[in-house]
Chain A
């Protein structure tokens, strides 16, 4: 068991999850914007 390596790798969990939420959050916002810009024509 390499606890030092485990502790060291925790930073990647933080960066990874933060990164993915930022990118996916942005995608989500852009989709909302696209739906406002291009609504369904009735």
Chain B
């Protein structure tokens, strides 16, 4: 009896104990960042707690194997198989995200779409860098999707490609999304002049008809489906959520999708990923490299968007503040708020929020398309 009680203490080797303790520290850091620093708490807190939960000796939360045979199935593995392994949870979360997004600023100024496209540069640059560091093509593609700056897309693509680095990719994606206000400003300052940052862009309020708002999600789904069929699940669920919002007859469904539904999926998503955060799978030198490559992805996303703004200014009579290109990454609404704040720092009358918000929602669509292209190339 006493042996059974003390099994958790006696059986793990010293190395295993070191690994467990390391994962508890990592879990603790994630919880600390979520609570004290308000960094993506909805995801980082469950992930941090899950990291501790699955790294207790003989944890009943995950399946324990004896001689390669499952002793008993852990509930977190059941959740993982039910919602992550088949990519269901990230897709369902996209319904909620679609219902939350107002594409109005983008519909008002469709040119802003192009900033969303340019700000996916970091994805493909990171793909090449990951290959340079010796990752396989599939793993490099999975790592590169951190640059989508979008958690559900990162889970979807890395699971679809069956990358063994999915948890590290997810931690990197969510951490850097929360760090957008810290990562982007120095990069933007480095590649723009003060004059460029001070360019004012008057916002002309232009209404968009209800018909356009309703047709938009349908047309976008069809185009994505025709050109990048593998992206259509992601785009389709995102746009379905947006159609709920815009149709005007499903107010309660739209509200539910935005609030309760999105909250439940988010709650399950963070915990469900934790079976893959077991020490032996997570504590690898590659995890640190993935964190570094994630940072590279965010930096070059920003560079891509800003450089397109500068390119526009070479040919356009109406000058564009190139900083709004940086808002083309998907991290919504952090990126647009960061750009708006930087504009105000340069000039108290420089209001860029609506333009940046347009680029930001364009980034949401573009990152999903980029994910679809990655799947088309390597899936």
Contacts and interface: CB of A to CB of B under 8 A. Distances in A.
Interface string A14-28: 011101111111111
Nearest to A23: B227
Contacts of A10: 128
Instruction: Say whether chain A's binding surface is mostly helix, strand, loop, or mixed.
Output: helix
A10 B216 CA distance: 33
A7 B183 CA distance: 28
A1 B134 contact: yes
A2 B135 CA distance: 9
Contacts of B281: none
A36 B248 CA distance: 22
Interface residues of B, number: 44
A13 B140 CA distance: 12
Contacts of B133: 1-2
Interface in B244-281: none
B370 interface: yes
Given A8-B131, A13-B128, A32 B110 contact: yes
Contacts of A21: 114, 117-118
Contacts of A9: 127-128, 131, 137, 140
Q: Can you list the 6 inter-chain pairs with the closest CB atoms, starting with the nearest?
A: A38-B211, A28-B113, A13-B124, A6-B132, A24-B117, A5-B131
Given A9-B140, A31-B113, A34-B216, 5 more contacts: A9-B128, A23-B224, A25-B117, A31-B106, A35-B110
5 contacts: A12-B377, A16-B370, A28-B110, A34-B215, A40-B209
